[in-house]
Structure 1
Amino acid sequence: MSDQEQHHIFAGIDTHADTHHVAIITGYGKRVADQEFVATSSGHRTIVDFITSHGVPGGVGIEGTGTYGAALTKALRRAGIPVTEVNRPNRQQRRNQGKSDPLDAYQAAQSVLAGTSTAVPKAKDGPVECLRVLRAGRASAIKSRTATINQIRDLLVSAEDVVRAKYRGMPTLPMIAMMARSRPTGHTADPEYITSRVLRTLAQRYQYLTVEIEEASTSLQKILDLYAPLLCDLPGVGTDVASQLLVTMGDNKERINNEAQFAALAGVAPVPASSGKSTRHRLSRGGDRQANSALHHVVLVRMGSDARTKDYVDKRTAEGKSKREIMRCLKRYVAREVYRQITHPVPAPMITDLRLQRRELGITLQQVAEHLHQWPSYLSRLERGRTRNDLLAVRYRSWLNDQASAERRSSDRL
C-alpha cells in the first residue's frame, strides 16, 4: 500500500457486548483490514492503535454509540478521532449481501466515507447524562409504584369483608398510610391474616417508591437549576419536560446546528403529505418519541391556559384546519422556542412588581379584573407567579401605569 493511500483511511465498527469488530477502508473505498477485539478498556486502546497504524483516520462509524459502543466512543474521542453514529444496514442490503460482523463493520465504514451517516454521537460525560440516568430510575420507580397500587386494589376486591371494611371509601394516601402502620396477627393458614400482611408489605413498598421518586425529582430540579435554569421559564415547560428535551439534545449541544435539526430530532418537523389537489403536511413519525411526547404535553398545557395559543387555535380553526394539523404547527413552534431557549437563554419577564404597584395605588383585584375582563383568581395567580401570561402581564402593567399617571395629574391640579 502506498503512503498516499495510507494517509486517508475510514473505519467502521460493529459493536457487541463482549467484542467489537473493526474494519478499515481507504479514501477510495478499498478494503484494507478487519479484526475483532475484546470490549474492554485494554481492547479499546488496542482498537485506537489498530486504526491509527493504518493511516490518518478521516472518520469512524460506530453502531450503537449509546449502548455497547458508548465506552469505545469516549476512548476514540479522547484520542482525537472523529466519531459518527451509523444506523444498522437496511434489510434489503442484508438480504442481498448477507449478514456478518465484518460485513456490518465494512458497511459502517463505507457509510462514513459516502457521507450518508453524519450524526454526531452524544457525549454522555456531563450533567445531561446525569439527567438521563435519573429519569431512567425515576421512570422505573413510577411504573413499579403504579403496579403496586393496582395490586393493592386487586387484593382488596377479593379480600375478606373484614379487611375490605377497614379501607372502604378511603383516599389512596390515607389508605396506604393506614396499611403500612397495621400490625396483623394470626396463623399462616388464615387468608385474612395473609392478605393483611401482604397489604402492609405492598403499602410500605408504595411509600418507599414514593420517597425514591421525590428524591429523583429533587435531584432533577437541582441539575436543571445549575445547568439550564431558564428553560423552565417557558410556558408549559416543567422539570419533566425540560429534562427530557435536554436529554434529547445531549451534553454536546454543538452536535445540533440549528432549530430545524432539533425539530427533526424531536419528530416535529413537517412532512409533506400532498396528493392531487390537496396540499398539506402531516406529523412526523420519526425522531425521539420521548421528546415528541414532551412537546405534545407543552402544547396541551398551552392550549388550555396560554392566551397566545388560544388565539392561534381560534384563528387556524376558522381557516378550516383540523385539531391535529393545528397541534402539528404548535409543536413545531414550541420546538423552535425550546431550541432558542437552550442555546440563547432569555429570562421570563418580571411580574413581581404588579401586586406591589397595585397595592400602592389602592386598587383592588376586582377593579383590575373588571377592566381586563379576567377572573380575580387568575390575576392573583399571575401576580404570584403561579401562572404565566406575558401578553396579559403587559396589559396589566400598562393599565397600572395609566392609573398612576392619572393620579399624578390629579394631584398636580390640586
Structure 2
Amino acid sequence: MNDQLPVWITLAVLVLGSLGFVGVSSANRRKRSKPHDETRSLDGASTRTGDVLVDGDALGEAVLAPSGDVAPPQTQPTEPQADVPEPTAGRLVRLRDRLARSGSPLGTRLLAVLSRDHLGEDDWDELEETLLLADVGAGPAAELIEALRTQVRVHGVKDAASVRAMLRAELVALVDPDLDRTLHTTPTVHEDGTKTPAVLLVVGVNGTGKTTTVGKLTRVLVAEGSTVVLGAADTFRAAAADQLTTWGARVGVETVRSFKDGADPAAVAFDTVRTARERGVDVVLVDTAGRLQNKAGLMDELGKITRVITKEAPLTEVLLVLDATTGQNGLNQARVFAEVAGVTGIVLTKLDGTAKGGIVVAVQRELGVPVKLVGLGEGPDDLAPFDAEGFVDGLLQA
C-alpha cells in the first residue's frame, strides 16, 4: 500500500493540472469573444474600439468599428481637405449690415439733429458731442462741424435726402478715400526665375486679436491665390504659436515655429523668410509678441527682427493691429508701435461690435497711416479690406 502512494499523488497532480488548464482556456476564450462594444458617444467623450482609444473632441470624423469579434478591414486615412476661404469681394457689405445692427449713434444722431427745422448753437454742440463720443477726436470733430455749418448756411438743406447726402459727403472726406490702402503682397520675381517674397510684419499689444488677425489675413491671401508661409515669432506664449499653426493648417499653409520656450523671435522670423525664399512662396506673415514692459524693450526686439528679416528680403508692410473697442485709450499704445516699428497700415479689429466708429478717423490722423483692413466679427473670414465709402454708408444705415 505504501508502495502505491506515489502513484495516487501523481494522478491527483495530473487531474488538478488538467482542470486548471481547462479553466484558463475557457477564460481566454471568453476574453477573446468579448465584443468590442466598450463605446461611448463622440460628443466629447472618449471612445474605445478594440485596443485603440480615440478622443471624440480631437477626432470628430472618427468612424467606429461595429461591435463584434471581427472588425472590418482598416482603410488608409485620407488627408484632411483644406478649407476654401470665401472671396474677399463683398465682405464689406457684411460690415455695413453689422454697423447698422450695432446701434451706432454716429449716423442716427447726426441725421436727427441736422434734420431739425432750425439749428441753434445747442444743436451744433450736440453734434460735436456726438462726434466726440464716437471717438472721432477733437480736431476732426471741429473740422466736420465747421464744414456742416458752411453747407447748411450756403445751401440751406432741410429735406432728409439732402441732409443725408451732405453728411455722407463730409464724412467720406473726413475718412479720406484718397489714402493708399493697398496691401503690398506682390513678390519680386527676378530674371533668373527666383522669387523674393513679400514680407508682412504684424505688431500690436496682446489682447487686440493680433494672432487671430494673422490667421484671418492668411485666409484673405489664400483666397486671392497667393502662397503663404507663417512665422510664429511670438515666442513668449506657446499658445500663440499653437493657435497660428492651427490657422495655417486649416488652409494648407505651413507655420515656422520654435518649440523651445523663450526662443529668439528674430531667429524664428529669419528662418521663416529663408524657408519662403527656398520654396518660392509669395508672402510671409510674421506674428510678433506684444507683451513687452517698456518702449526700450519693444524697440530692441522689433529692431532686431527687422534687421534679420531684411538680410533675406525687404519688409513690404508693417501692420499694426488695434482693438476698435478701446477707442482713444488704444491710441497711446499705437503711438509707441508707430514710432518703433515704422507702421505702414492699421488693422482695426472688433469694428462691428462698437458704437465708436469714429476711431477710424482718429487713428489715421494720429498715426498718419491708413486703415487697410477691418475685423467684422468672430468668423474665420470676417476680415475685409477697408473702404471709406462703404464704411460711411454702414454708419448712416444705423
Shared fold by TM > 0.5? no
Specify which structure has the bigger relative contact order, considering alpha-carbon pairs within 8 angstroms and separated by 6 or more residues.
Answer: 2
> Which of the pair is proportionally richer in helix?
1
Structure with bigger gyration radius: 2
